[in-house]
């Protein structure tokens, strides 16, 4: 599904990722754990295509579903309009995710939504078009307990790459956990291998 080899990323003279290997097989939900600033979000942004310049090789299944750490959506749009734009770009209709409780938010401007409500909209956008791989960066940030449970249920059977600090959520959804350390030295996870 996803095969990345020797991924390195430099911001100026600062090396954020140093020859990272990563495999996500179909049906796997790989959770990346690691300290702040170790490069989890950078790795996910490279996988999602948000960061385009990096060293290494990557094989992807096509357009992914990506929910960034900060749901940075245009404040001037209605939530429904935002989902329409994402659906138009993905050329697939968006489905109202009852589990995330977004129906009541659709007619409101994104700028008027709380952080948790934005996160829900961002998750619906990520799942739009049933992408083959879901990439979620800190998806439980600002989500309440019910929404976290709904997200975990939604991920059942999906292929996903998730970065989180939420251990309980990670344990619930993972099929494999990998750890990243500062300076992007990737250590063994549950299956004792480089990620």
Partner 1 sequence: MLARSATADAFEAPGTRTLRSLRPPKTWMTLLMVSLLAFAQLPFALLMACGDGIMRGVSTTLLAVALVASSRDVLRSRYALGAFTCAAMMVVLDPSPALAVLPAAGLALVATGAAWRQALEGRRAAVRIVRPSPPVVALALSYLARMVRTARGRVGAAAMMFAAAGATLALTLRNDPDARPWQRAFVVFALPSSIASALLATPAVETEAQLRPWLRQTRTSPFVLVAAVALALATPSTAFASTAGVIAAAASHATASIAWATTSAAVSIACAVAPWARFAARSRRPSTFFLGVIGIAVLSTTLAAAC
Report if residue 189 touches partner 1, rule: CB under 8 A: no
- CA nearest neighbour of 135 among 33, 58, 64: 64
User: Pick from 81, 99, 101, 142: which binds partner 1 (CB under 8 A)?
Assistant: 81
Stretch that binds partner 1, among 1-9, 14-22, 81-89, 178-186 (CB under 8 A): 81-89
Q: Residue 30 has which token pair?
A: 């790989």
Report d(CA 39, CA 9) in Å as an integer.
9
Minimum separation from the CB atom of position 121 to partner 1 (A) = 12
Pairing of strands 160-163, 134-137: parallel
Minimum separation from the CB atom of position 188 to partner 1 (A) = 30
Report if residue 158 touches partner 1, rule: CB under 8 A: no
Report d(CA 54, CA 11) in Å as an integer.
10
Stretch that binds partner 1, among 1-9, 58-66, 145-153, 179-187 (CB under 8 A): 58-66
Residue with tokens 């990323």: 9
Measured from the CB atom, the residue of 90 and 176 that comes closer to partner 1 is: 90
Report d(CA 180, CA 107) in Å as an integer.
40
Minimum separation from the CB atom of position 41 to partner 1 (A) = 11
Report if residue 80 touches partner 1, rule: CB under 8 A: yes
Report if residue 64 touches partner 1, rule: CB under 8 A: yes
Q: Which long-range contacts (CB under 8 A, 24 or more apart) does 11-17 make?
A: 15/183, 15/184, 16/42, 16/184, 17/42, 17/43, 17/46, 17/54, 17/184
Positions touching partner 1 (CB under 8 A) are 45, 48-50, 52, 63-64, 66, 68, 72-78, 80-82, 84-91, 93, 107-109, 112, 125
């Amino acid at each position: 599904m996803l095969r990345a080899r020797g991924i390195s990323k430099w911001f100026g003279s600062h090396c954020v990722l140093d020859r990272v290997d990563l495999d996500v097989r179909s049906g796997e939900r790989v959770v990346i754990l690691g300290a702040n600033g170790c490069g989890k979000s950078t790795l996910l942004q490279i996988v999602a295509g948000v960061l385009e310049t990096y060293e290494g090789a990557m094989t992807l299944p096509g357009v992914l579903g990506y929910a960034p750490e900060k749901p940075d959506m245009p404040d001037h749009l209605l939530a429904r309009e935002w989902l329409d734009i994402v659906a138009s770009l993905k050329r697939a209709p968006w489905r109202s995710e009852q589990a995330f409780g977004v129906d009541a938010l659709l007619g409101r401007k994104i700028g008027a939504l709380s952080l948790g409500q934005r996160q829900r909209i961002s998750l619906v956008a990520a799942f739009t078009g049933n992408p083959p791989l879901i990439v979620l960066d800190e998806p439980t940030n600002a989500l309440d307990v019910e929404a976290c449970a709904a997200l975990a249920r939604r991920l059942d059977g999906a292929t996903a790459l998730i970065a989180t600090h939420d251990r309980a959520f990670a344990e619930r959804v993972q099929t494999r956990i990998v750890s990243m350390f500062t300076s992007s030295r990737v250590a063994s996870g549950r299956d004792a291998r480089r990620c």
